[in-house]
Amino acid sequence: MKLIYLFIFFVLGCFFGSFFTVVGLRLPKHQDFIKKRSHCDVCEHDLSFLDMIPIISYLLLKGRCRYCHAKISNTSTYMELFTGILFALSYSIFGFSIELLYALGIVGLLVILSVSDIAYYIIPDELLIFFGGYFLVLNVISKGLMGAIYSLGSAVLLFLFMYSIMLLGNFFFKKETLGGGDIKLMLVVGLVLSPFLGMVMVFFASFLALPVSLLILWKRGTNLIPFGPFLLISFMFLYFTQLDLSTILGWLKLF
């Protein structure tokens, strides 16, 4: 039975991944992603349902538009597959529980933000407001009113922590080191993670981003990278593994 549910969550994830990609590409440009139909970017022909079946349509059409035969970007297909895997993984780890709803929210935020931040170097405020509200509602349901209030305090602390890092970075490097979206993102993260885990998340994200930054510096002569996806990969890792303070402190003692 679990295999059936895994397959269902994978398929659902693929469809949501397609939608998340559209949101990530349209939201920063203030385009309608609800009513406006998807279309070919070259000939602008509206796509039918058969043209938008996640992964399958791309493979059957051999990566080309049915109408003008122009090559289709494979970004959406990769994100569909990625989201499908993460949806299935979420169910595998948490089953049918309130934690599953948190996990699916984190996946949605990761996919939409990654598409937006990589494409435009923008983290839309509307995205953060929506998922902030989503996690806050889950906190009220799972932790009660006082627990939700505590999570708001955690969000503020992590926001101030990230803001302090930005100020220090700007002072030492004499240029902007963090975008405003990265700082505001910590308000959302703080609704789920404790202040300590949020700080661990930032350092882990920096560790992941460093080799990518050096590679881009070597190839393009600039080390400008979207930091939001690294923050959320770290966020997802910490939540999915359910690491706690005692475990991390135990690791630190080994050094």
Residues 161 and 85 in one domain: no
Domain assignment present for 110: no
Mean pLDDT of 51-57: 79
Is 115 within a domain? Answer: no
* Cβ neighbourhood burial of 160 (10 Å; 0-12, 13-18, 19+): middle
Q: Are 231 and 202 in contact (CB under 8 A)?
A: yes
Helix crossing, 98-120 with 75-94: angle to 10°?
160
Tell me if 48 is assigned to some domain: yes
pTM assigned to the model: 0.92
pLDDT value, residue 72: 77
Band the pLDDT of 233: cuts 50, 70, 90: very high
pLDDT of residue 232: 96
**In-domain check, residue 233:** yes
* Overall domain count for the chain: 2
Q: Do the domain assignments include residue 223?
A: yes
Beta bridge partners of 46: 39
DSSP string for residues in 30-64: T--SSSSPPB-TTT-PBPPGGG-STTHHHHHTTTB
pLDDT averaged over the chain?
89
In this prediction, residue 117 carries a pLDDT of 94
Backbone angles phi, psi at 46, to 5 degrees: -60, 140
Whether 149 and 238 share a structural domain: yes
**132 and 213 assigned to the same domain:** yes
**Which residues form the domain of 132?**
123-255
| Position 180 pLDDT exceeds 60 | yes
Q: How confident is the model at residue 49 (pLDDT cuts 50, 70, 90)?
A: confident
Residues 135 and 92 in one domain: no
The reply to whether 149 falls in a domain is yes
80 & 138 share domain: no
- Residue 114 forms part of a structural domain: no
Place of tokens 């100020």: 167
Per-residue pLDDT tens digits for 65-99: 777 877 877 888 999 999 999 999 999 999 999 99
Q: What is the pLDDT of residue 215?
A: 84
The average pLDDT across 38-43 equals: 71
- Residue 233 has φ and ψ, to the nearest 5°, of -60, -45
Last-in-domain residue among 40, 61, 96: 96
Is 104 within the bounds of a domain?
A: no
Residues 188 and 249 in one domain: yes
152 and 191 share one domain = yes
State the pLDDT confidence band at 133, using cuts at 50, 70 and 90. Answer: very high
The predicted structure's pLDDT at residue 203: 92
Q: Is residue 255's pLDDT more than 70?
A: no
